[in-house]
Chains A and B, each alone.
Chain A
């Protein structure tokens, strides 16, 4: 496992699409590195012959019948949209 000091807060905040202030960057870096130092303990465990667990109980390929069913009316579905026009969500320009 790599050293916690590999944490590049600018890179990760960019991936997470969160704008951070300089103060937040400094604070979160220190706090997250504390947590990572604790997490480094996992390196002690021999996991060479262990399968990963994604869910506690194995459930595979849950299928639903592909049949139309009533859904939310458009007005209801858009009720919480920050901005809308003609039954569509309006957003700032995506391409120049």
Chain B
């Protein structure tokens, strides 16, 4: 257990708060002080509202004093990716387009966090509109990897991952469209979980690719991720794609489910392009499970090589449609000096969107345009069916699938910024999970020789997050990678 409050887990803090050994105000003050001390280096935050967070911490303390505590997350700060609406707080998507936007309402996950007493804390940096793998596409700044400031924190939820790793919050929320929770979690030595599509409401999440987007937790332990997931799940009338499903008690299930499990290793995920140190760390994790009595089986996901292509058709098509709303009329950036309304659209979008956003809107517009729809978009949707079928076939023989999360540890800032395709290929192991709608998580599984974190991806079956979390916890109980904090 770390001595510093800001490095404790929510689970540890809940007992300290319950025993009145620490107050939520003290915790929030420690987190604010830590953020002020290290964020000039990390740049995880776009902004934060210290007064609001401390007021909420005092309210949590008052509830505890009255004996009306709202549970384990009461008084715990939860960092918020700057695409998740919090009433009265900025909501920028790290874009010039929304640089001055203040949310007039709460997202459903924010409502649920507040009901649990958690403190939505700060606005965390991302690649503009969640498009990218490094936060280098943020219009404001690039988030640094806490383990090596010259390297990226991953993306798009780089701020959510780095803030948890650096002790600038206890847990956080991000969103994952093609790996945007799992990849930065792997690069920053934290736990990151993308739920099954439909488990968590997307109401109040700025839309990127609506058939792929999900909100999920970042944490420094599996039980913390389970507790935060518990707080945000549930069918929501405001999101018609959210699903009615039985929700178990994820935290309690962690201790009940001990395996042994049948775990699948997809051979396509261990081929060219996998960094040898990442491969070795993941292999060591697989060996651990085998020693625990799990049955390790090779499985095949034969359409893996088409994942990136399918993803960059479907995601850009959906993004071109979703981002049509930014027209300079009702909200967002409006260009000066437009001669008529159509000119206003052209200029506002040219000024408000950054290069990657423009590139993706244009690619998405192209694949949907007359004469190309069948060749690109429809074909991609069909290959998507095959990718999903690959996973469902594999799940006839195994309970979950183990893979590397990212082919490499954190790369240097600028290394891939000029080559979009190289950046896109860094999502190769995470994209299939979104296309198939499956739950997936990344947990720390080692470090490279130069001290860069490595992540193990666990891919679960639809709506079986409890099983996936228990598999993760079995590994975590025997390894203490999370205890290795960055030196800042």
Contact = CB atoms under 8 A, between A and B. Distances in A.
Interface residues of A, number: 52
B156 interface: no
A55 B437 contact: yes
A64 B236 CA distance: 11
B216 to A, nearest CB: 15
Interface string B335-374: 0001111111111011001010011011101100101100
A3 to B, nearest CB: 10
Contact of B382 (A41, A47, A76, A92): A47
A59 interface: yes
Interface stretch (B48-56, B293-301, B384-392): B384-392
B358 A92 contact: no
B436 interface: yes
A55 B332 contact: no
Given A1-B375, A52-B378, A82 B328 contact: yes
Interface string A3-19: 00011010111011111
B231 interface: no
A62 B334 CA distance: 35
A50 to B, nearest CB: 4
Given A9-B362, A41-B306, A89-B329, A57 B349 contact: no
A82 B331 contact: yes
Given A38-B308, A81-B330, A92 B385 contact: no
A34 B420 CA distance: 9
A57 B358 contact: no
Given A18-B358, A38-B308, A42-B306, A77 B340 contact: no
Contact of B437 (A9, A45, A57): A57
Contact of B347 (A6, A19, A32, A47): A19
A48 to B, nearest CB: 9
Interface string A22-53: 00100010011011101101110101001111
Most chain B C-beta atoms within 10 Å of own C-beta, residue among A11, A16, A51, A64: A16
Given A39-B313, A59-B198, A80 B102 contact: yes
Interface stretch (B61-69, B111-119, B237-245, B447-455): B237-245
Given A42-B383, A82-B331, A28 B358 contact: yes
User: Is chain B's binding surface mostly helix, strand, loop or mixed?
Assistant: helix
Contact of B312 (A11, A17, A35, A56): A35
Given A1-B375, A17-B349, A31 B420 contact: yes
A93 to B, nearest CB: 6
A67 to B, nearest CB: 11
Contact of B420 (A9, A19, A35, A81): A35
Contact of A35 (B334, B345, B388, B421): B421
Contacts of B383: 42, 45, 47, 50
A55 B212 CA distance: 8
A79 interface: yes
Contact of B327 (A17, A41, A43, A51): A17
A52 B342 contact: no
B436 A39 contact: no
A82 B334 contact: yes
Most chain B C-beta atoms within 10 Å of own C-beta, residue among A17, A36, A47, A89: A17
A62 B100 CA distance: 34
Contacts of A50: 382-383, 385-386
A12 B366 contact: yes
Most chain A C-beta atoms within 10 Å of own C-beta, residue among B237, B313, B334, B366: B366
Most chain B C-beta atoms within 10 Å of own C-beta, residue among A39, A47, A57, A93: A39
B484 interface: no
Contacts of B140: none
Nearest to A40: B309
A42 B304 CA distance: 11
Interface of A: 1-2, 6-7, 9, 11-13, 15-20, 24, 28, 31-32, 34-36, 38-39, 41-43, 45, 47, 50-57, 59, 62, 64, 72, 76-77, 79-83, 89, 91-94
7 contacts: A2-B375, A6-B372, A28-B355, A36-B363, A38-B424, A39-B309, A82-B333
Closest 5 A/B residue pairs (Cβ): A56-B437, A52-B381, A82-B334, A80-B331, A62-B240
